[in-house]
Amino acid sequence: MTDYPLYQCIDKEGHWVGEDERSTQEDLFTFYRHMLRIRTFDKKAVTLQRQGRLGTYALFEGQEAAQVGSALALDGQDWLFPTYRDHGATLTFGADMARTFLYWNGRFEGCTPPEGKNIFPPAVPIATQIVHAVGVAMTEKRLGSGKASIAYFGDGATSEGDFHEGLNFGSVFKTPTVFFCQNNGFAISVPMEKQMNSKTIAQKAVAYGIPGVRVDGNDCIAVFRTVQKALERARAGEGPTLVEAVTWRYGAHTTADDPTKYRDQAQSIEFRKTNDPLTRLEKYMKETGVWDEEWFAQLQTDLSNEINQAVEEMEAFPKPDVNNLFDHVFAEPVWPIAEQKSHYMDHLKGVIS
Amino acid sequence: MINLEKQSKTKQMTLVQAVNDALRVALESDANVLLLGEDIGRNGGVFRATDGLQEAFGEDRVIDTPLSESGIVGTGVGLAISGSKPIVEMQFMGFIYPAFEQIMTHVTRIRMRSMGTYSVPIVIRAPYGAGIRAPEIHSDSVEAFFTHMPGIKVVCPSSPADAKGLLLASLADPDPVLFMESLRLYRGEREEVPVEGYEIEIGKGKKVLEGNDVTLLAWGAMVPIIKKAASTVAKEGISCDVIDLRTLFPLDRDMIAESVQKTGKAVIVHEAHSTGGLGNDLVTLINDTSFLYMKAPVERVTGFDVPPPLGSLEDHFLPTESRVIAAIKRVIQF
Ligand SMILES: Cc1ncc(C[n+]2csc(CCOP(=O)(O)OP(=O)(O)O)c2C)c(N)n1
């Protein structure tokens, strides 16, 4: 642990403890705004799921600093490889909110990024996206584009082969990649100490000869600076970095699961009180006299409007089109699918064939 | 193990409760039985299939593993060849792929490669199938990959009592078994399940309904669909011989042949994709055993040749009763 100190800029009480220069007022507003935005989104999604207006949803509340800090560090043209829990990061990076809701409604339309944005559909199988991020970075390196890639994953993902294969490839080929682990303490019900015997995730980087750093994942500024540094290194041709952002997720693994079975909820309540990423930044902003109640009230109104509008857009979206079941499997239709499609369309119309 | 017919004490159970019950019997009856999997211990499995078992049998026997399917099956191989009896859980069949190499290159071949010196009596439990609006990749039904590779038996129950008896038989089997559990049937019907342990022979199908006009064949989640279709067409005077295959490798050749030789017509229903699906092997089996008895080409109703879609298109992907009925009518009117 001592070899991997937790990098912080503001501590839990909201005091500046960073050694570098402080963030500008504008940056603080930006960090806070994005964190509140995705928290509001997350809460809305849970409500919608409870009302039966969304399918199973993966919550991230508590991880806002990790997702916002890392996504804001990216250049708009970089590549982002999220998991099912990183829609906070993708929204911050520019994903469309209504479509993000659509994804959780079981629609392929939710997997498509806005024009010009390199956001891959969320990886559902654990760790599989880590190698993709490396492959993309190999292309960008070959093209000399200066673009980098970031792969998001959890603590549980470090047990899969793909994690190790990704770190090894990235290191051997010195790809411009950031391996961004949100260590939220649990992989569904399995706590970190049963997932691995190593004290930190950052230390796993040693085996691959790349830097591994630990950052307080509830400190948005620290995450932002850490990822920014890793990206600079990546773009300078020095290869990938493994970032371990230590954080906590308050709620269930997904809305389909009951966390009281395996996790002491008191811990989450305590975390919310003492180590919440938004509260921490708020304290610091208040301490430095930057906080503005009027701005905050306006922000809340704006965000709730934006989110309600996105929900409306999602619900007004055209009904799922059966053609989408068949039309995107291959670039050009192949006969088995074409034939199955035409038979099925006839069947739906009641044509007997 | 006790004979199923002689069992007097029974209890109402869902399929997932019957699985849990079978695992409990297995752990009680043999100290070498170990359960391994992600979230199976403290959490009792994401579907509660292992609920309460860690409390009852301890962390050394009901083991929460790291998130690593290849690791789970690979260590399972080591455990099995050294005298332990591992029952491992793949959280979903769609997440079995990281373990694919271990299954294809080791689980299925060790007996042959060692000329019988070593064997891998492992049971790999895999919840499978679409229809519950689970997120992407959670709905795969890829039994054909496994029936294609000789060296592993593939079992898929459709009722609680079958699930218990087949799971215990899978454990007793000297060879590896892939045991598929339908997500859709987990909490479907309840039925009376014998309280004690019993085995149902692997490789035997079950006649669900007797009929004369057409044979319907399915397994797992598609069994309720063919039963419904059979009762619908019964109103129009079509009588169906309905078979739940229960074991997908090896198939119950005798039961299938006997039925199609009686009806001369067959409809095969599976939710897995059409191309390379097990339905094709069933057609071959029918050709090989009963060609001269057949009065119509065999029909197949399957999932389409597209990856299992996200939830909103799931109902279009899965075979429906109405597609099955249309197929029945086609063979009847041929
Ligand atoms: C290959 C694979 N195995 C199992 C699962 C089921 N599953 C989904 S999330 C999860 C835990 C993931 O934990 P972690 O990597 O720490 O990420 P977190 O969900 O905590 O963000 C599991 C076991 C899966 N999605 N993919």
Does the distance separating the beta carbons of B304 and A341 come in below 8 Å? yes
Per-residue tokens: A95: 């994903």
CA of A189 to the centre of ligand 1 (A): 10
Of B112, B118, B180, which Cα lies nearest the Cα of B145? B180
Residues 6+ positions from A297 with CB-CB distance below 8 Å: none
Strands (E), chain B: 10-13, 33-37, 62-64, 85-89, 123-128, 153-155, 177-182, 191-194, 206-209, 214-218, 240-244, 247-249, 266-273, 299-303
pLDDT digits (tens, 9 = 90+) for A74-98: 999 999 999 999 999 999 999 999 9
Ligand 1 interacting residues, C-beta cut-off 6 A? A 85, 124-126, 153-157, 184, 186-188, 253; B 38, 67, 69, 91, 95, 98
| pLDDT tens track for B263-305 | 999 999 999 999 999 999 999 999 999 999 999 999 999 999 9
Is B148 annotated in the active site? no
Query: Which pLDDT band, with edges at 50, 70 and 90, does B67 fall under?
Result: very high
**A94 C-alpha to ligand 1 centroid (Å):** 25
Q: Note whether B182 and B128 are within 8 A (CB).
A: yes
Helices A277-287 and A64-73: crossing angle in degrees, nearest 10, is 70
Is B304 in contact with A344 (Cβ distance < 8 A)?
yes
Residue B274 Cα to ligand 1 middle (Å): 30
For residue A7, the cross-strand partners are A215
Asked about A249 being catalytic, the answer comes back as yes
- How many Å apart are CA B250 and CA A329, to the nearest integer? 32
* Percent of chain A scoring above 70 in pLDDT: 99
Q: Does the pLDDT of residue A335 top 90, yes or no?
A: yes
Burial class (CB in 10 A: 0-12, 13-18, 19+), B278: buried
pLDDT value of residue B8: 77
> Which residues of chain B does A326 touch, with a Cβ-Cβ cutoff of 8 Å?
304, 306
DSSP classification of residue B60:
T
From A37, A99, A249, A263, the catalytic residue: A249
Report how far residue B334's alpha carbon sits from residue B325's, in angstroms, rounded to the nearest whole number: 14
**0.80 surpassed by pTM:** yes
Is the Cβ pair B66, A336 closer than 8 Å?
no
- CA dist A345 and A28 (Å) reads 54
In the block, tokens 């009904």 appear at A319
**What is the arithmetic mean of pLDDT over B242-267?**
98
Q: Which residues of A touch B304 (CB under 8 A)?
A: 325-326, 337, 340-341, 344
B-contacting residues in A 157-176 (Cβ below 8 Å) = 157, 159-162
Q: What pLDDT is stored for residue A231 in this prediction?
A: 98
Q: From residue A242, give the alpha-carbon distance in Å to each of A159, A180, A215, A259.
A: 15, 6, 11, 29
* Closest among B280, B282, B195, B177 to B2, alpha carbons compared: B195
Q: Which residues of B touch A (CB under 8 A)?
A: 38-39, 41-44, 46, 64, 66-71, 94-95, 97-98, 133-138, 274-275, 304-307, 309-314, 316-317, 322-323, 326, 329
Q: Does the structure show a pLDDT above 80 at B5?
A: no
- Residue B243 banded pLDDT, cuts 50, 70, 90: very high
- Round to the nearest angstrom and report the end-to-end CA distance of chain A: 69
Q: Would you place residue A351 in the very low, low, confident or very high pLDDT band (cuts 50, 70, 90)?
A: confident
Rg over alpha carbons for chain A, rounded to the nearest Å, is 21
**Residue contacts between A and B (CB atoms, under 8 Å):** 112
**Per-residue model confidence (pLDDT) at position B23:** 98
Mean pLDDT of chain A: 96
- Tens digit of each residue's pLDDT (9 = 90 or more) over A123-157: 999 999 999 999 999 999 999 999 999 999 999 99
Average pLDDT over residues B232-256: 98
The yes-or-no verdict on residue B136 having pLDDT over 80 is yes
CA distance linking residue A325 with residue B306, whole number of Å:
7
Mean of all residue pLDDT scores within chain B? 97
Pairwise CB contact (< 8 Å): B312 & A106? yes
Question: Are the CB atoms for A325 and A337 separated by under 8 Å?
Answer: no
A92 CA: distance to closest CA in chain B (Å): 23
Angle at A14 between CA A11 and CA A17, to 5 degrees: 45
> Residues with Cβ < 8 Å from A30, sequence gap 6 or more?
A72
Per residue in A39-50, pLDDT (tens digit) is 999 999 999 999
What local confidence, expressed as pLDDT, does residue B6 receive? 63
For A181-194, what is each residue's pLDDT tens digit? Answer: 999 999 999 999 99
Contact B322 A347 (CB under 8 A): yes
B66 closest CB neighbour out of A84, A105, A159: A159
Q: Quote the percentage of chain A above a pLDDT of 90.
A: 95
Candidates A194, A319, A334, A335, partner chain B, best to mutate (most B CBs within 10 A):
A194
pLDDT value at position A264?
87
pLDDT recorded at residue A3: 86
Percent of chain B clearing pLDDT 70 (strictly above):
98
pLDDT digits (tens, 9 = 90+) for A219-245: 999 999 999 999 999 999 999 999 999
Instruction: Give the pLDDT band of residue A1 (cuts 50, 70, 90).
Output: low
Per-residue three-class SS string for chain A:
CCCCCEECCECCCCCECCCCCCCCHHHHHHHHHHHHHHHHHHHHHHHHHHCCCCCCCCCCCCCHHHHHHHHHHCCCCCEEECECCCHHHHHHHCCCHHHHHHHHCCCHHHHCCCCCCEECCCECCCCHHHHHHHHHHHHHHHHCCCCCEEEEEECHHHHCHHHHHHHHHHHHCCCCEEEEEEECCEECCEEHHHHCCCCCCHHHHHHHCCCEEEEECCCHHHHHHHHHHHHHHHHCCCCCEEEEEECCCCCCCCCCCCHHHCCCHHHHHHHHHHCCHHHHHHHHHHHCCCCCHHHHHHHHHHHHHHHHHHHHHHHHCCCCCCHHHHCCCCCCCCHHHHHHHHHHHHHHCCCCC
| Alpha-carbon gap, residue A167 to A172, rounded angstroms | 9
Q: Tell me if ipTM is over 0.90.
A: yes
- Residue B202 to chain A, least CA–CA distance (Å): 32
